Amino acid sequence: MSAPVDSAVRRATTRWTAARRIPAPLVALLGAVLALGLVWALVVPPFQAPDEQSHFAYVQSLVSGPGLPGAPGHLAFSSEQLRAQDVSNSDQTAAQIQVKPTWSAAEWERWQRLDDGTPPLSRSDSGGPGNPAGANPPLYYVYEAMPYALFAGGDFFSRVTAMRVASVLWLLLTVVGAWLLAGELFRRDRLLQLMSAGVAGLLPMVTFVSAQIGPDTMMYALWALALWLGVRIIRRGVTTGMAIALLGLTGLAIIVKATSYALVPATLLALGVGLWRARASRAQTVRLAVAALAALAIPVLAWFAIARLGGHAAAAQLTDASSSGGTNLRELASYLWQYYLPQLPFMDQIDPTGGGVPAFQIFVKQSWGAFGWLEVRFPDALYTWFGALTAFVGLAGLARLATRLRSMDLAVAAFLAVAVMTLLAGLHWTDYHQWIAGGAFMQGRYLFPLIPIAGAVTALAISWLHGRARAAAAGVVLGGLFALQLASLALVATRFYA
Amino acid sequence: MRRAALIGFLVLAFAGPAIITVAGASRERTLAFTLGAPSTTPAVVLRPGATVCQGPIAVAAAFDGVELQPGTFGAAGSPLAVDVRRMSDGGTIAHGRLAAGYADVRRETIRVGPVAEDDEVAVCIRNAGSHRTALYGSADAAVRTSTAMLDGELTGRDLDLVFRTNARSTLALVPDVLQRMALFRGGWIGTWLYWVLLALLVLGVPALLARALISALPGRVDEGEPPAP
């Protein structure tokens, strides 16, 4: 055999072996998640997901407009986009349950004829001030610029569809991250890994959000991978590559969405524990720490520099939260109490949701099913059952954790707890200040960066069972998630198309 | 163990579609399409003999009834004559009448006879009685491609009009639903793709999940996988 042929065979064999190393349950799960993601991307009408039109406009501003949104003299949305929103009736349909998108095939054909003759100006006049997503960091939008540019020769709605499909790919990485995290936590118990990754990839709201144009899907994936790497470093020890990867992912997550600053304390904890356990020389420790911190700082500082040069806010969400009203610690404590528990007699009423316990109204209802612009919901009674199921699984999982305290690595538990608590603290801090300013901020999907941990808690709950009972419970979880997917899709299809 | 897992999975995975199918077969719907302007305000006041026309309206699906929300100012409702006119030549293609005596601020459906899909029409409502009548709707921006004109003058409002047809089960609407889903997606996407996705959803996804479940059960070793640490 000649040398080039020999080398090609070797490469093919290596690839084949690598492919065979991907566990069969994960491959099958990824196939199912991809199929569901594509279905969601193609079922939800254009711009019937929170702020999708703003995210599209950001990308259009980068590719066809002046660059980062906010340029004076430009429209927030291009005239092409505004016309597309008109013809598909998307603005009127948003959040108004009785209004439907355009169903007329004749209107659609008319638009296609019109779109063929659209002059270039109608795309390039976007990128002005007033885009609600304009304050976001740019990484996700740069990524979405690729499918946008790839379909730039096509009609407007082809670009929207291509960008949605590109978003779905990040959901696959979220599933992989959840699988790997569970592998570390459950010592590669395949069934428990499948439960963890299954919850992360099959919960309908996660699929819905991940199949739309918006940075959340990329953030979920980066968080999932960072959570895995953090646990891996704590359990197996730190290497330069792993440390750079962990903090680099955190840096990238920050320039996807400012929410990801909440990941920094946990990743620093993981790095610190890893370095402390490595017991390397001081010089080695310093070298590794500097390399890792540089991986965190480089993307963030690069974004700050670009933003400053362009007169763009680099972390608007953070600065807005801290500048909108002062902080009354007593009131903040009362807000936190009333977010999760009923008001006590001596407390002033704080009601950011307009009725009911906010944790239930926002976290439970909007995590289990609030599609479209949150207006597409299951019958109200069903959410009580969802809430009870969440509480049952959560308590069963935590109780299982308590039984394993002696044998478990407490640093791992601390790492995950810090990630959860910091995200919650950041969300509540912002929500409280927005509430003071008279606005509303919190949404259920903001918890989804933690979805791999929710999956792991579900797996922990199932780990109470053994043998056939565990297998049956795993079947029920997967079957239940699939049934919920179908019910959610039927709900969405009925709301928009029947 | 494999049997227990599969039974657990199949019971839930097939219970979902079964419930959806039964619900879809038993729930009837009469909506043909809607103009998309909800009743947020009295949009126009029709004096006796006055006519308001909402148009142009692209007929997205054949209909035979027009639903609207009149206000009677507390009196018994004045009779309303409803014409559906072709935009191209103004000819009346369907006609109906709401008899006097209807209640204040309650939705009413007026049978007008069949109107075919893909026509472009205007719906005109004339107050055929002797009392004024309000018709509910929204500000003009609610439907940007259509507007309401009162006796030929722009009103700056859109009427809340819902177009009705014969009752059909939600299940019977599936072909129409898939056709509607395929609009405003991209030139190459057609209804055929949605039939493929439907098959993938109800057959492919459960098959993949069942495979994931079976291959994750203890006792099955993934070849090439290094042992657990």
State the complex-level ipTM: 0.92
For B52-95, how does the pLDDT look when each residue is reduced to its tens digit (9 = 90+)? 999 999 898 899 999 999 999 999 999 999 999 999 999 999 99
Find the helix packing angle between A24-43 and A156-185, rounded to 10°: 150
Which residues of A fall within a CB distance of 8 Å from B12? 475-476, 478-480, 482-483
Distance from the Cα of A492 to chain B's closest Cα (Å) equals 11
How far is B71 from chain A, CA to nearest CA, in Å? 20
Is cis: bond before B227, omega within 30 of 0?
A: no
3-state secondary structure at position B41: strand
**Lowest mean pLDDT, pick from A201-205, B37-41, B122-126, B217-221:** B217-221
Cα distance between residue B119 and residue A221, in whole Å = 48
What dihedral do alpha carbons B144, B146, B151, B155 form, nearest 10°?
A: -10
- The confidence score (pLDDT) of residue B222 equals 46
Q: Is A436 exposed, middle or buried (0-12, 13-18, 19+ CB in 10 A)?
A: middle
Please determine, for residue A440, whether its predicted confidence score (pLDDT) is greater than 90.
Answer: no
Alpha-carbon span B185 to A279, nearest angstrom: 57
Question: Could B9 and A478 be called an inter-chain contact, meaning their C-beta atoms sit closer than 8 Å?
Answer: yes
Reading the block at residue B143, the tokens are: 């439907």
Closest CA to A44 of B205, B58, B185: B185
Structural domains in chain B plus CATH codes? 2-27+171-216 (no CATH), 31-167 (2.60.120)
Phi/psi for A129 (5° steps) reads -70, 160
- Whether the CB-CB separation of A450 and A178 falls below 8 Å is answered with no
CA closest to A191 among chain B residues: B216
To the nearest whole Å, the CA of A111 is away from the closest chain B CA by: 9
CB pair distance less than 8 Å for B222 and A24: yes
Residue B123: its H or E element? strand B120-127
What tens digit of pLDDT does each residue of A382-406 get? 999 999 999 999 999 999 999 988 8
Using CA atoms, how far apart are residues A220 and A191, in angstroms rounded to an integer?
22
Per-residue burial over A72-86, b = 16 or more CB atoms within 10 Å of its CB, e = otherwise: eebbbbbbbbbbbbb
DSSP annotation of A421: H
CB-CB neighbours of B106 under 10 Å = 11
**CB spacing of B145 vs A87 below 8 angstroms:** yes
Instruction: Find where tokens 């109906």 sit.
Output: B96
Q: What is the arithmetic mean of pLDDT over A346-356?
A: 83
Residues B141-186: tens digit of each pLDDT: 777 788 999 999 999 999 999 999 999 998 999 999 999 999 999 9
Q: Which range, of A261-275, B129-143, B215-229, averages the lowest pLDDT?
A: B215-229
Question: How is residue A497 written in tokens?
Answer: 């198309």
The reported pLDDT for the residue numbered A348 is: 87
Rounded to whole angstroms, the Cα distance separating A179 from A176 reads 5
Chain A and chain B share a number of CB contacts under 8 A equal to 241
A-chain CB neighbours of B168 within 8 Å are none
**Contact assessment for residue A435 and residue A176, using Cβ atoms and an 8 Å cutoff:** no
The pLDDT score that the predictor gives to residue A318 is: 67
The answer on pLDDT for B204 being more than 90 is yes
Q: Which of B54, B100, B52 is nearest to B75 (CA)?
A: B100
DSSP-assigned states of every residue in B57-85:
EE--S-EEEEEE-EE-TTSPPPPEEEEEE
pTM score, two decimals? 0.91
Which amino acid belongs to residue A171?
A: L
The residues near B96 (Cβ < 8 Å, ≥ 6 apart) are: B65, B66, B81, B82, B110, B111, B112, B113
The model's pLDDT over B6-27, given as tens digits with 9 standing for 90+, comes to: 999 999 998 878 888 888 788 8
Tell me which amino acid residue A230 is.
G
The residues, any chain, with a CB within 8 Å of residue A370's CB and separated by 6 or more, are: A205, A376, A377, A444
State the smallest CA–CA distance between residue A347 and chain B in angstroms.
37
- Which chain B residues contact residue A26 at CB under 8 A? 212
Q: Quick one: angle between helices A156-185 and A216-236, nearest 10? A: 20
The phi, psi pair for B227, rounded to 5°, reads -65, 155
What mean pLDDT, rounded, does chain A reach? 92
